[in-house]
Amino acid sequence: MKILQYNEDHDNFRMRLRRFLESEIMPYTDQWEKEHITPKWAWQKMGREGFLCTSVSEQYGGLGGDFLYSVIVAEEMTRTNHTGLASMLHSDVVVPYIQSFGTEAQKRKYLPGCVSGDIITAIAMTEPDAGSDLASMTATAEKSGDEIVLNGSKTFISNGINADLVIVAAKNPAVENPYESVSLYLVESGTPGFKKGRHLEKMGFHSQDTAEMFFTDCRIPEENRMGSDGAGFHMLMEKLQQERLMTAIGGQAAAEYMLEITQKFCRETADATGKPLSKRQAVMFALVEMATEVRLGRTFLDKLIAGHAAGEPEIVETSMAKYWITDLAKRVSQQCLDLYGDYGFTEACPIARGFRDIRVMSIFAGTNEIMKQIAGKFMGL
């Protein structure tokens, strides 16, 4: 019995997206990996076809779809074996802040462009000395007349080079309580005082642009604040649940994809005796063991997806899934790479890219150690 109930519209959407990715995106992914960035036209093509921000209502140009559409996009994007077109970050992590906390004027101004791909978004939380501990951030936001003045730096910002719109978390230095001092602000690329820094070189995620950001007396209208003054920390905590679930979905899809292509390789590649690698007991057992863990992960994850789609998020189980599934994906990438032998050491092997890319997922959305702390706290430990 399947936990998630996809209907005909979902299935048609998946097939249309898969065909689109195969014809319009995948022929270019190797080039984008070498260039270390995905061009904006790819985002715009994705948007024009209705594959970005599927949860945004029709009122703002979106599909108005349920959460299963987000799951479908995340899974199918994983099958492209590249990370540059970070639609999950844009559609299901950043844009939901605007949907939930933006004013009507902010929604009308930005959401249509987010849907079409003309506006690429990023969120700037992480700082050089403040990662998972958001309360320790030092970027400031001070009121000056009817403007807000931003100062500080951010780092490891995904979509940082391509971003046209950034949600920036910053503190009011006059408020001592760190949990009541943070607010979120919408900052457009090109705003005076806002500078994009280095395009960071990474061990993986090569086609994904990751950057530093600097704010030096960056003035924005006070109306660019989202939600009430000082509510930013609570807004971040609320939306981080979906971000963690989306990270688990990405990790699960990556594990399934790597296992699928490795099984195919082992069935079709002969050993020295002329028999398929999959007939060797050690290889067979390794594949079966990985398949068992991957199916366990899928069952656990689908239960969480169903609850999230029904408006019943599980903080403890989401934290568990985020850490366990991303760790699972790392184990699978390692074991699959081993089964390729010498070929696995070459860039021609598709697992090589996946092996590099999957490493950072245990850091995204709060490190896996933080996930265990959260689960432990809510378990009363």
Question: Which contiguous run of DSSP H or E holds residue 151?
Answer: strand 147-158
Strand-strand pairing, 121-124 and 165-171: parallel
Q: Are 91 and 240 in contact (CB under 8 A)?
A: no
User: What does residue 199 show for φ and ψ, rounded to 5 degrees?
Assistant: -80, 105
User: Residue 261: which residues within 8 A CB-CB, separation 6 or more?
Assistant: 350, 351
Catalytic position from the list 212, 243, 256, 317: 243
Cβ-based burial of 146 (10 A; exposed 0-12, middle 13-18, buried ≥19): exposed
Cβ-based burial of 209 (10 A; exposed 0-12, middle 13-18, buried ≥19): buried
Catalytic residue list contains 24: no
Question: Which contiguous run of DSSP H or E holds residue 87?
Answer: helix 87-89
Listing DSSP states for 180-231 in one string gives TTEEEEEEETT-TTEEEEEE---SS-TTS-EEEEEEEEEEEEGGGEESSTT-
The set of catalytic residues is 243
